[in-house]
Amino acid sequence: MQTIQSEAGIEGTYERHGDGPPLILLHGGMAPKEYWDPVVPQLDGYTAIIPQRPGFGTCLDDPTETSADDVLNHEVDYVRALADSVDGDPILFGHSYGALTAIEAATELSVRAVVAYEPAILPDDYRAEADLADRMQTLIEAGERREAVKRYIEQVLHPEGIDDLDAWLAEWPVWPECVDLAEEVVRMNRAVERYRLPNSLDVAAPVLVLTGTDGPGFLRESARAVHEAIPHSRLVEFDGVSHSGPSEAPGLISAEIDAFRRANSSSETPR
């Protein structure tokens, strides 16, 4: 494990695997850095850099005092520090909230490319009625921390419904330890609910936007909107793959990244 500190004083740890161009992997909400374990063996030819997201571990001095308005800025600042610590311009590969962070960071950083799997961005009509953060906060204040986290899982990970949530949770590697992150997930969701996708994102690097047919409909819609907002982007949809695409189908994802990298080595990505 290695340690870095951002200009804002956010300290964090990260792992390095492999050898080649740097590829920074940014996990999403409720997922630990171990989310990338199935992916890393597929990334032959890259140096995979896997940080623990600020607040989802020990990166913030006092996570309880970090407001929703600060969450995204903290994480973007941390990505800047990571990018500055590697040799050459990195590729940013983010999943869900990590994908939103990667895109926002790329508006200010010199990066080789961005890979964004279903960025955690809400369409306007969906965001207008989004109240997950409020519902989770109400449950936490009532002492129902586990129920609060379950609401997140039901709405984000299994919006299509699940027959036996408790049985699924019993097999989920991060359950029930992830309940300790309930307040951080509330802040993350407030940041998502307040974020508005601009008509155009000033990202100079080529961007690969990925989505799956079995993921939440609102995130598939947002993936298309992100693609349209970025000048140099390519949109790829995987049939039968869910919101957990990177860990669910790592071979498919890594092959698409390789093809995207080769296509952009000497030419602009087709839309």
- Please tell me the distance from the alpha carbon of residue 28 to that of residue 20, in angstroms, as a whole number: 24
Question: What string of H, E and C letters represents the secondary structure of 241-261?
Answer: CCCCHHHHCHHHHHHHHHHHH
Domain ranges of the chain: 2-123+198-263
Could you tell me if 133 and 189 are in contact, meaning their C-beta atoms sit under 8 angstroms apart?
yes
Q: Tell me, what's the pLDDT at 7?
A: 67
Quick one: pLDDT at residue 232?
87
Tokens read off for 52: 């623990």
Cβ count within 10 A of residue 184: 22
* pLDDT of 260 above 70: yes
pLDDT (mean) for 17-24: 93
Per-residue model confidence as pLDDT tens digits over 162-184: 889 999 899 887 788 889 888 88
Q: How does pLDDT run across 183-192, given as a tens digit for each residue?
A: 888 888 999 9
Beta bridge partners, 13, equal 3
The phi-psi region of residue 53 (left if phi > 0; otherwise alpha if psi is between -120 and 50; otherwise beta) is: beta
Question: Selecting from 3.30.1360.120, 3.40.50.300, 3.40.50.2020, 3.40.50.1820, what CATH number does the domain 2-123+198-263 have?
Answer: 3.40.50.1820
pLDDT for 12 equals 72
User: Is the pLDDT confidence value at 223 over 90?
Assistant: yes
Q: Which pLDDT value is given to residue 219?
A: 92
Residue-wise pLDDT tens digits, 48-102:
999 877 665 444 444 444 455 577 888 888 898 889 888 899 999 999 999 999 9
Least confident interval from 48-57, 81-90, 111-120, 232-241: 48-57
From first CA to last CA, the distance across the chain in angstroms is 38
